[in-house]
Amino acid sequence: MKKKITPCLAFASILFLLSACNSSDTRYVWDGAVVESKYQDFQRKIKDQDALKELEFRNSPGAPAKAGILTDAIETQIDKKGIHTFARGQCASACANIFLLSPQRTLLPSLNKVRTHLMIHVSRASDNGEIDYGGSEKMNKRIVSKSAGKIPLELLDKIFDAKNKQGGIYIFREPIVTDQGEAYVLFCAGDEVPFLRTCKPMKGIKPQDLGISIGV
């Protein structure tokens, strides 16, 4: 017996196929931490799919190891192929740096209860936790350059005022309510986290002002 396909089901099937095509052919979805195994997979897809021009991070806390090496390697691919970066949910540490090292950057709606945001902090030595001032300064300047100057160096350099690794600059897709009013960009010293409402709002700054697009 031949199965009848309703217009609704046919339309849903077309949407599914288009979504799958977009996801596999043009966009690489990086779910979770920035680790070498996922980089190797990303590298393979880049080589196999000429149409792949987008990199989407989902809920990434950053890199537990080899942060600098992986960031540099992914930046090379971003520059080589003109890759547009996207972020959903948390995108912290190495993830935020990689996201911002693309000249095209977009924050997307979260798929869970974690607000879409970037968290930028200083680079620290893996053995003793000391701040790598030189490495952090170079990264900040690279980010400013990739943003065509839209992200002020003065803003990024606030990360050096943080007290611990939880402190730094937070950039939210939607405004967050703080004790001093709503804001998209916050500076947290570190002892406020996870109570972000007590962080210092950088009023008058939206992601768009920093060259970051808001996607739907």
Contact call for residues 28 and 57 (beta carbons, < 8 A): no
- Residue 26 has what DSSP assignment? I
Would you list the domain boundaries of the chain?
A: 7-214
pTM for the full model? 0.87
List the chain pLDDT tens, one digit each, 216 residues.
444 444 433 433 333 333 333 456 899 999 999 999 999 999 999 999 999 999 999 999 999 999 999 999 999 999 999 999 999 999 999 999 999 999 999 999 999 999 999 999 999 877 777 889 999 999 999 999 999 999 999 999 999 999 888 899 999 999 999 999 999 999 999 987 677 889 999 999 999 999 999 999
Give me the CATH code for the 7-214 domain, please: 3.90.226.10
In 3D, which of 120, 102, 91, 103 has the Cα closest to residue 31? 91
pLDDT in the model for residue 24: 60
